[in-house]
Amino acid sequence: MELFTETFVSYAGNILPWFAVGTIVAYVIDRSVDIRVIRPFLGKVSLPNILVAKLVGMASPLSIMSALPITGELIRLGAQPLMLFGFLLAERAYDLQSFFIISDLFGLKIAVLNAAVILVSLVVTTWSFRKEKFKFIPHPTRENGDFWRAQGKTLLVVLIGIAVGAILRVVIPLTGLGLAMTSQIGGVITSLVVGFGLYFGTILGNYPVARALADLGMTPAGTMIFLSVSPIFNLVVIMLFLSVVRTKYVLKMIGVYALVSLFLSLLVSVFH
């Protein structure tokens, strides 16, 4: 119980401040954001726009926590729903500091391959849904005072995701997976299971865990999968997106991303 409490508090400490910031920004963004800033790379679904949106999202030092509550405002200002969701996925999957940290932990080659796997996976995923009528969960109008009620529902979903993630972290002890992850299949399974259950708020928290798993004997394929797949294929991340995006779109897009990034991770692990 003590470990669960510590984990829950840790997760909440990473998530809830960003949630609060995003809620405040959602209230005032229409006064500070020009629609012309949104339209160039989020207003139309095209391959060049998708690529630019992914690169901008991956380079952004911000967290999706501050962006989730303002999705309704961004769509109202001209963002295309699919492009916006793809942008948020990119923000979650990679960070400006990611390349430098991974280079220090695993070497330049792994850092380049990891960035390439994530970028290609994000582009392929978004492009594959270009004909879908993508929808975010409607937000009530703020004039009626329902804005804060909607944020309360979002907060409830976030807290549920944090609790379930904390339970998984207690139930799946890393030390018990030591032998399994040294084999090829065991490494793949371990990286997927651990990556699905662990959440640190920012993606940067994944990297020291990946280094620890590698030091404990995880295969190169398992390590690459943990670095590339788990940033998106994660329980808390899924729960966060479910608070603003319709369920079928979240599950389909994250499922496609997981499959594409898993395949590419296995492929580059064979040749590097």
Query: What number of CA atoms fall less than 13 Å from residue 78's CA on the CB side?
Result: 13
Q: What is the model's pLDDT at position 184?
A: 86
Mean pLDDT of successive 10-residue stretches along the chain, which has 272 residues: 82 73 65 60 86 86 60 74 90 86 90 97 95 72 56 73 70 60 84 86 79 83 95 91 86 96 94 71
CA dist 34 and 52 (Å) reads 19
Number of domains in the chain: 1
Q: What is the model's pLDDT at position 167?
A: 77
CA dist 82 and 116 (Å) reads 21
Q: What is the model's pLDDT at position 48?
A: 92
Residue 25, domain extent: 2-137+146-271
CA dist 91 and 63 (Å) reads 7
Q: What is the model's pLDDT at position 143?
A: 46
> Is 235:164 a contact under the CB 8 Å cutoff?
yes
Q: What is the model's pLDDT at position 63?
A: 57
Q: What is the model's pLDDT at position 144?
A: 45
For residue 135, give the DSSP letter.
-
3-state SS string over the chain? CHHHHHHHHHHHHHHHHHHHHHHHHHHHHHHCCCHHHHHHHHCCCCHHHHHHHHHHHHHCCCCHHHHHHHHHHHHHCCCCHHHHHHHHHHHHHCCCCHHHHHHHHHCHHHHHHHHHHHHHHHHHHHHHCCCCCCCECCCCCHHHCCHHHHHHHHHHHHHHHHHHHHHHHHHCCHHHHCCHHHCHHHHHHHHHHHHHHCCCCCHHHHHHHHHHHHHCCCCHHHHHHHHHCCCCCCHHHHHHHHCCECHHHHHHHHHHHHHHHHHHHHHHHHHC
Q: What is the model's pLDDT at position 61?
A: 57
CA dist 210 and 225 (Å) reads 10
Q: What is the model's pLDDT at position 160?
A: 80
CA dist 27 and 10 (Å) reads 27
Q: What is the model's pLDDT at position 177?
A: 59
